[in-house]
């Protein structure tokens, strides 16, 4: 999704020993906020680095410091080869394939790895951590390929591509530096350069990895976590916008808002459901269209599920996002590496790199996206069928037969919904053993995150078609006027160049315009200027 600048995002982010906030991750990944390491973080990094350097001279083997990795963990590495060990680790693990991963994902991944380094639990040197901040601030994004991570030990291949760039190897995309104007930043990185040349241009010295550092740079869940944080940010906008779309549809289909009453919702006390129903009540307030059929003469007894049960479906999606945020917050507070330096100075192996907690909620959210999109498509379809749209023309066409109206817009919705159902099949139930059976159960969290990004994009497109179709239906109810909040959304579309009802015209650009207004939060904002903040 393309994103407009968000003025409430921080422009400077201090990476401390504690967790980053989701808004800080979004600010750095998507909007070019500047990154600095706190003095406390630098002091902690130095203290744990001293422990690693002491162990490097020990005659006893220590995993990742004086041994090989994975299935080669029992292979002792002599001192003169240990720097080469770290370089070889990064080079060999930078084995991704396929299309380039989006810049915002790469930046989120690097920032979250830096956050773990800042905890002082990994044993890297301060200059290594500072190099990550320098690349982020210079607008250099390592080229990371889509395929390669099994989500255990974390996102090895994607993180190795990032570490390779810090070493001055591999390729990077060069974009605006941190602090550049937001409209310039939104244009993204374009120039492709060898990392060594890009670092030289930016005045950044390549890092010569020391003991343990290669392992510390690649052993984490940062890629899948970054994509989870970004997806939750976007779903926060999309689920509220889905309420806006549902209100427009209930209104345009002459449905009732009585079922959204607070006392009825309280009989089933799910918090997300209550918030969604409240949104629908606010959005439909003072609608002439709704009041026109609030009479004894109205023969309607119950609306279809897609209208009446919108709060139940949208609300469950909100509650699922709430659980996913809890997992994301816990993971943001984690120090994921293997081995780790404990606060009392021990260096211990562990299994905290396993991506299962993140992978599971990534899959949950793909299910949520598919379900909310599915009910949105069903509401849209009702507008097009004269047997169910209560007096509107077939397909909302100007001259039915000659014109097809929004017939094929609904086809587009249906195609996306079908894909979202396929994407809802969980990745986290799969596992393919690797590393000579040492890593014999993996999370596939990176794969879950990649498909969730496509799911979130698809949900935005489905909701956009519903908004577009409902707006046309509301216009066709004239001279009755819609609620002020839904009327504001119709006015937004018209001001953006989406025309009202009329003969058939080239519809794809209008769908794309509506999608952009949904994705950017403009549809939500237009409604909120009338209702106040929606939940």
* Distance of alpha carbon 427 from alpha carbon 360, whole angstroms: 8
Give the number of residues written for the chain.
Answer: 535
Only one residue has tokens 């810049």, namely 103
Three-state DSSP class for 307?
Answer: helix
Only one residue has tokens 């001001």, namely 495
Three-state DSSP class for 192?
Answer: strand
* Distance of alpha carbon 199 from alpha carbon 310, whole angstroms: 52
* Distance of alpha carbon 314 from alpha carbon 271, whole angstroms: 11
| Set 63, 305, 323, 515: catalytic member | 63
* Distance of alpha carbon 120 from alpha carbon 16, whole angstroms: 10
What stretches of 101-149 adopt beta strand conformation (E)?
A: 140-142, 145-147
> What's the chain's Rg over C-alpha atoms?
26
Phi, psi of 94 (to 5 degrees): -80, 70
* Distance of alpha carbon 150 from alpha carbon 452, whole angstroms: 16
Q: Minimal CA–CA distance to 503: which of 393, 419, 425, 411?
A: 393
Q: Give yes or no: 132 in active site.
A: no
* Distance of alpha carbon 509 from alpha carbon 245, whole angstroms: 19
The catalytic residues are 63
């Amino acid at each position: 999704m393309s994103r407009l600048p968000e003025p409430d995002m921080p422009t400077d982010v201090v990476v401390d020993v504690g967790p980053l906030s989701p808004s800080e991750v979004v600010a750095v990944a998507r909007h070019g906020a500047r990154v600095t390491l706190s003095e406390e973080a630098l002091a902690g990094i130095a203290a744990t680095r001293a422990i690693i350097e002491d162990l490097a001279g020990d005659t006893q083997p220590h995993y990742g410091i004086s041994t090989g990795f994975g299935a080669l963990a029992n292979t002792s590495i002599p001192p003169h080869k240990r720097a080469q060990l770290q370089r070889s680790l990064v080079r060999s693990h930078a084995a991704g394939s396929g299309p380039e991963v989006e810049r915002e994902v790469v930046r989120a991944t690097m920032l979250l790895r830096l956050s773990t380094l800042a905890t002082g639990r990994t044993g890297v040197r301060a200059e290594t951590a500072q190099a990550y901040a320098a690349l982020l601030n210079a607008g250099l994004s390592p080229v990371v390929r889509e395929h390669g991570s099994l989500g255990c030990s974390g996102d090895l291949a994607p993180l190795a591509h990032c570490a390779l760039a810090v070493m001055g190897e591999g390729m990077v995309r060069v974009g605006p530096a941190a602090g550049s104007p937001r409209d310039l930043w939104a244009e993204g990185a374009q120039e492709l350069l060898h990392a060594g040349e890009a670092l030289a241009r930016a005045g950044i010295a390549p890092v010569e990895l020391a003991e343990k550092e290669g392992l510390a740079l690649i052993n984490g869940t940062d890629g899948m976590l970054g994509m989870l944080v970004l997806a939750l940010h976007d779903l926060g906008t999309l689920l509220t916008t889905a309420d806006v779309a549902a209100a427009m549809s209930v209104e345009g289909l002459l449905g009732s808002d009585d079922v959204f009453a607070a006392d009825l919702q309280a009989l089933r006390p799910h918090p997300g459901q209550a918030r969604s129903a409240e949104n629908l009540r606010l959005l439909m307030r003072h609608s002439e269209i709704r009041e026109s059929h609030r009479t004894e003469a109205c023969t309607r007894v119950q609306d279809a599920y897609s209208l009446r049960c919108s709060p139940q479906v949208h609300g469950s999606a909100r509650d699922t996002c709430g659980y996913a945020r809890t997992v994301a917050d816990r993971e943001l507070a984690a120090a994921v590496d293997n081995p780790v330096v404990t606060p009392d100075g021990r260096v211990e192996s562990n299994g905290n790199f396993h991506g299962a907690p993140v992978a599971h909620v990534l899959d949950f959210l793909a299910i949520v996206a598919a379900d909310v999109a599915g009910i949105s498509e069903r509401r849209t379809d009702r507008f097009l069928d004269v047997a169910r749209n209560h007096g509107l023309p077939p397909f909302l066409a100007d001259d039915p037969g000659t014109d097809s109206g929004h017939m094929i817009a609904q086809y587009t919705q249906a195609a996306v919904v079908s894909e979202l159902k396929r994407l809802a099949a969980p990745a986290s139930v799969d596992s393919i053993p690797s590393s000579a059976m040492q890593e014999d159960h993996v999370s596939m969290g990176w794969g879950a995150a990649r498909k969730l990004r496509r799911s979130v994009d698809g949900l935005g497109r489905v909701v956009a078609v519903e908004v577009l179709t409902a707006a046309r239906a509301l216009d066709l109810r004239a001279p009755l006027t819609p609620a002020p909040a839904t009327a504001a959304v119709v006015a937004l579309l018209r001001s953006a160049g989406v025309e009202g009802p009329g003969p058939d015209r080239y519809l794809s650009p209008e769908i794309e315009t509506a999608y952009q207004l949904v994705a950017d939060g403009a549809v939500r904002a237009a409604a909120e200027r009338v209702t106040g903040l929606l939940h």
